[in-house]
Amino acid sequence: MLLAFGEIKGDIIEISPLSFGSIVITENTTQEKVVLNYSGNVGYSSGIYAVTPPNTAEFLLTNYPSNQQVFISARSIQARSNSDIYSADQFTLTDVDVPSVLTTDNSGSATLFVGGTLETSGSGVNSYLNTQYRTSYQISVNY
């Protein structure tokens, strides 16, 4: 008897990045937050106002088995953000929101949307600058 095992490796292609939009921090005495779930629903705590809306990240999963359930998990891998211009206050990506299971189509593809929760420092000082802030997260796909 001859058994052959092939290794199937799927690809994950970023279509659009996760963005919390442009926001104004009016109060930072407690941790304020923007919550964007993977479905696109958004909520702001009272000390944050939107200037431009946030967008979920979109990824294309390809080269997976057809009609296969894939299990998704994600986590923040960078506790605090980095800013283009030095800012004493930084944001924290406290949660990365993904569906726990997706099913690929007949071609072995699926679309994954990613959201998350972004929190202010709550330092009592509001020294956020008008600049771009970046943070990182990791997505795992198992099947």
Question: What pTM does this model have?
Answer: 0.90
d(CA 85, CA 22): 15
Q: What average pLDDT does the structure give for the chain? A: 93
Is pLDDT at 1 greater than 60 in this prediction? no
Using the 8-state DSSP alphabet, how is residue 88 labeled? S
The two beta strands, 22-25 and 82-83, are: unpaired
- pLDDT recorded at residue 13: 97
Tokens 């092939």, residue located: 6
Asked whether residue 133 carries a pLDDT value surpassing 60, the answer given is yes
- Could you tell me whether strands 69-76 and 137-142 are parallel, antiparallel, or unpaired per DSSP bridges? antiparallel
Position 71 scores a pLDDT of: 97
**Tens digit of each residue's pLDDT (9 = 90 or more) over 71-99:** 999 999 987 999 999 999 999 999 999 99
pLDDT attached to residue 8: 59
